[in-house]
Amino acid sequence: MDYNNLARNVDLFRQAHVAARYLLPQCIPLNVQHYYPGFNIRDLFYTTQYDIKKNMEPREHSTNGRRSIGTYVIEWWEGDAPQLENLLYNNKIPTWITISTTVFPNHNEVVDPYHVQLHPSIYSTYYNNHEQQYETNVVPNKGFNCFLNRIDVIRQSWFYQLLRRNLFDQGYISFNMNLHHVKEEFKNLTASQVFQVQFERYHSSVFAEEHKIAQSLVPYRNFDEAAKLDDIIMQSKFSIIVETYFDDNNAITFTEKTIRALRLPRPWILFGPKNSVKQLRTWGFDVLDDLVDHDSYDQFESHIERETVMLDMAKTLLKFDTQQHWHRLKKASDHNLKLLGNWALELGEYYLLAHYEAIVKAHELGYVYPPPGIPTLNRVWTNR
């Protein structure tokens, strides 16, 4: 993780929050217990999501002798966590305004009152050095790369499929079996135990032969742990990107996995929600449509169908000639780096606009009970 870039991003977020309050001084919120603007409730959400709603119900407060009733929270929700917005479908957290880049292609009208669509410039924060470029081609020594970090049923099926299709020895592959976000029933199990349980429940009738091989390999990585992923990608002909979230076509979101590939002069295929590549194209990224037929998999409703078509495409892409297409690959990389660089310069302004909109929405929903006054860092931000 780039902590310097993260600190800069948080600082921009705070400045925007204060500036937006200054523009709308009547909309200063009261803190909700230890939840405050910008507080990352990710861990709480996964363990006590239904308690959060109870904790946020309006109650009386006393501040400097002034009595007010009501609370709300503006939460900057990072790009790889659409679950909070899924709660908004049913309005289970009625006093919460989220700011995120998540796109809701099918239910935006439901989510819109409680959600602010942050400009995709936030994706520029995944990397601090936007000038990093490969001026000359690197000769690939593997056909592809596929990085699988967490363990779940679908990622496990990817591991089996790579074995079944004789792709295993042709790629740089990792399957770290990270237990982050694992199901509650698996909390007390080891990664190997989860792997076995998921096989018995979901894969035994399909991947029995592959499992015999896989169980002695996992967790797996066939490249140096200290290696930079950029370099591993450049040593591959193409990338198979398995995004963090891929099975909910109602919420499109991206992480550093996709942005990393967009920055580098290599082709890729993306396992994400339906129309994920279409969304990237809409934002102005060069997705190398002339070299990769993304439409052949991007439009499927079923993530199983997307996986199948992508694996079929992988066989063809193993023959991809990076030298022949180097100038086209470099052009795409330069374009996407420039786009991210321009976004990085404009990020503070987009933050301000998003926070302003969030405060307005909170006011329209009746969440806001002032005290009025000019905001300061001490009043609107709590360092805890």
Q: Where are the alpha helices (DSSP H) in 199-238?
A: 208-214, 229-234
Residue with tokens 């109650």: 59
User: How do beta strands 268-271 and 220-221 pair?
Assistant: unpaired
Residue with tokens 């499929």: 161
Return the pLDDT at 291.
98
pLDDT of residue 373 exceeding 50: no
Closest by CA position to 171, among listed 127, 138, 140, 126: 140
Neighbours of 383 (CB within 10 A): 7
Q: Which pairs count as long-range contacts for 45-48, CB under 8 Å and 24+ apart, including other chains?
A: 45/81, 45/83, 45/84, 46/181
Residue with tokens 């809701």: 104
The DSSP secondary-structure symbol of 137 reads P
Residue 220 in tokens = 């797996």
Residue 4 in tokens = 């310097």
Angle at 65 between CA 64 and CA 71, to 5 degrees: 75
Return the pLDDT at 47.
43
Read off the pLDDT of each residue in 6-25 and give the average, rounded to a whole number: 63
Contact 151, 194 (CB under 8 A): yes
d(CA 363, CA 27): 7
Min mean pLDDT across 63-77, 142-156, 344-358 is at 63-77
Residue 84 in tokens = 């909070």
Residue 38 in tokens = 């910008």
Task: Label residue 84 by pLDDT band (50, 70, 90).
Answer: low
Class of residue 147 by CB neighbours under 10 A (exposed 0-12, middle 13-18, buried 19+):
buried
Task: Label residue 274 by pLDDT band (50, 70, 90).
Answer: very high
Domains and CATH numbers, the chain: 3-126+340-380 (no CATH), 142-336 (3.40.50)
Return the pLDDT at 109.
73
Task: Label residue 248 by pLDDT band (50, 70, 90).
Answer: confident
d(CA 157, CA 35): 38
The string of pLDDT tens digits covering residues 305-341 is 999 999 999 999 999 999 999 999 999 999 999 999 9
Residue 287 in tokens = 């997705």
Return the pLDDT at 176.
94
